[in-house]
Structure 1
Amino acid sequence: MTDYRDVNRANWDERVPAHVASPSYHVEQFLADPSYLSEVVRFDLPRLGEVSGLRGVHLQCHIGTDTVSLARLGARMSALDFSAPAVEQARSLAERLGLAVDFHVADVYDAVEVLGAASYDFVYTGIGALCWLPDIERWASVVAGLLRPGGRLFVREGHPMLWTLEAGTAYAEVRYPYFETAEPIVFDEGGTYVETDAEFTTTVTHEWNHGLGETITAVQKAGLVFDSLTEHDSAPWNGLPGLMTEDADGEWRLTDDPRRLAATYTLRAHKPGQ
């Protein structure tokens, strides 16, 4: 039986050069402007809270643009991703920016063993991470294991409502499961979520959706205290091509009445203790 991690890792590994070169990741702006932050981190600054001086870990960091943004806000960052080429690029970016970030190549479910238990003041997870994991309860247990007493979890993720949809020419169809399933949703698509002329040979991915109730319950079951959930009508990528319009901040909303769709959410929780 093919391991979903092998399938997905091959897909991500091949797309790293295209993502680094894409204007969507703004690598050149990071290098040119010492104050530049990723659009994802900038969007959630009102909810993120103070991170300066705190020890943080970014799970599933990809090429590290959100990681270095948190470091620029003063956090002492570690980061982890299962793609070696992605971590290589993330490490290179941090070094070029003069930031000391501790990067690791590892599966997210192994994060406690790799990074150390109860070692972090906050765990950060960004857009498009949880859909690659088959078990949201196991993920929440990892987060709880990484946090010190009093430490907090911060997630911004694609809304499970959006993940159920497939764009048509003039409308979106509800096609995929809202709730976590035992078997993956298998996609075979040749492109990626950034504009590129690159042609890819690894096109299959295995993904899972996780309902909001499942995610919040998993966080609570892991011993964390749920603090807040904010739903947004926008996403930092074109989740429904042909049906969404980009604003000046790089966020995409339904062109026709965006109030109809929750596109992303921000979730916050903390581990009890001092």
Structure 2
Amino acid sequence: MTDYLSINRANWDDRATAHANSPDYRVARFAEDPAHLSDVVRFDRQRLGDVAGLRGVHLQCHIGTDTVSLSRLGADMTGLDFSGASLTEARALALAAGAKINFIQSDVYAARDVLDGEFDLVYTGIGALCWLPSVNRWAQTVASLLAPGGRLFIREGHPVLWALDYDRTDGLLSLTEPYFEQEQPQVYDEPFTYVATDHVFTHTVTHEWNHGIGEIITAVLEAGLTLTGFEEHQSVPWNALNGRMRDLGDGEWQLTDRPARLPHTYTLQARKPV
């Protein structure tokens, strides 16, 4: 396998400042409004329930908007990401927002080696799993981080969404990318990102993997966790299919034409048995 970590880290280092400065992440709102939460966390707030007092870790936290939001809900948060540039932005955000969060640089698979103790909550947000070659290894890492009774909470892009042909203009939904996990990555060279920015990117190549819903759920179960919730959604928190989606408000977008055709995202919850 190629050195996907170095290739992807260079890409995310390149994105960090552009994302922090983009109006889509609304970073300044965290300093201006002490009650402000990221769109992703606000979407799942009822599903999250009361997280006050929980020791939590946000894997693949990027610039920390969801991490700060969970902290504002009362969780004692740690953020982990492999991009040093992203963590620089995350620390600046936490400082401006008045949030006490420990940010640690590490690859997800090495999280158990760099994090102390066990956690009541392991949180993963949108657009994380596609950067990992093995969902089984991810689930085993999550289980190793959880305290007995602790829970996993993840909202992610649906693997059907990741498998679509994004360039079609005829309104049809066409599955052209792998749905199931493959040994070799899907290699893309794209000089843009998913938010509004004028930044000119220099590291444009990424290596990514899709993971089927069955593979994800099986990995969680085989890691010894008990599935406690699974819900598929008909919206996604970015304009995933440009020109074919409508803005629902609150940061959510939906396929304009017959949206019930497409599972956009999902929320999965699981617990580690006591």
**Alpha-carbon distance in 1 for matches of 2:124, 2:267:** 10
Matched to 2:265, the amino acid is: T
**Residue correspondence of structure 1 range 199-210 to structure 2 within 5 A:** 199-210=200-211
Tell me, yes or no, if the aligned pair for 1:81 and 1:104 is still in contact at 8 Å: yes
Aligned length, in residue pairs: 272
**Residue correspondence of structure 1 range 102-251 to structure 2 within 5 A:** 102-117=102-117, 119-167=118-166, 168-171=168-171, 172-251=173-252
**Alpha-carbon distance in 2 for matches of 1:245, 1:178:** 25
User: Structure 1 residue 170: deviation in Å?
Assistant: 2.6
Matched to 2:90, the amino acid is: A
User: Structure 1 residue 28: deviation in Å?
Assistant: 1.1
Q: List structure 1 segments (4+ residues) > 2 angstroms apart after TM superposition.
A: 170-173
**Alpha-carbon distance in 2 for matches of 1:148, 1:209:** 28
User: Structure 1 residue 236: deviation in Å?
Assistant: 0.3
- 1:64-88 alpha-carbon deviations (Å, 9 max, x no partner): 0000000000000011000001011
- Alignment root-mean-square deviation, CA: 0.9
**Alpha-carbon distance in 2 for matches of 1:104, 1:250:** 28
- Determine the structure 2 residue equivalent to 1:269: 270
**Alpha-carbon distance in 2 for matches of 1:186, 1:222:** 29
- 1:10-35 alpha-carbon deviations (Å, 9 max, x no partner): 00101111100111111111111000
Tell me, yes or no, if the aligned pair for 1:70 and 1:77 is still in contact at 8 Å: yes
**Alpha-carbon distance in 2 for matches of 1:101, 1:65:** 12
Matched to 1:125, the amino acid is: T
Identity, % of aligned positions:
60
- 1:134-187 alpha-carbon deviations (Å, 9 max, x no partner): 000000000000000000000000000100002211323211010000000111
User: Structure 1 residue 258: deviation in Å?
Assistant: 1.0
**Alpha-carbon distance in 1 for matches of 2:139, 2:180:** 16
Unaligned runs of 5+ in 2: none
- Determine the structure 2 residue equivalent to 1:256: 257
User: Structure 1 residue 39: deviation in Å?
Assistant: 0.1
- Determine the structure 2 residue equivalent to 1:31: 31
The 3-state SS of whatever aligns with 1:145 is helix
**Residues 142-151 or 160-169, more deviating:** 160-169
Tell me, yes or no, if the aligned pair for 2:120 and 2:150 is still in contact at 8 Å: yes
- 1:41-69 alpha-carbon deviations (Å, 9 max, x no partner): 00001111110011000000000000000
Tell me, yes or no, if the aligned pair for 1:170 and 1:243 is still in contact at 8 Å: no
**Alpha-carbon distance in 2 for matches of 1:60, 1:156:** 13
Tell me, yes or no, if the aligned pair for 2:30 and 2:96 is still in contact at 8 Å: no
**Alpha-carbon distance in 2 for matches of 1:177, 1:248:** 31
Tell me, yes or no, if the aligned pair for 1:166 and 1:240 is still in contact at 8 Å: no
- Determine the structure 1 residue equivalent to 2:5: 5
**Alpha-carbon distance in 2 for matches of 1:166, 1:2:** 25
Tell me, yes or no, if the aligned pair for 2:194 and 2:238 is still in contact at 8 Å: yes
Tell me, yes or no, if the aligned pair for 1:37 and 1:69 is still in contact at 8 Å: yes
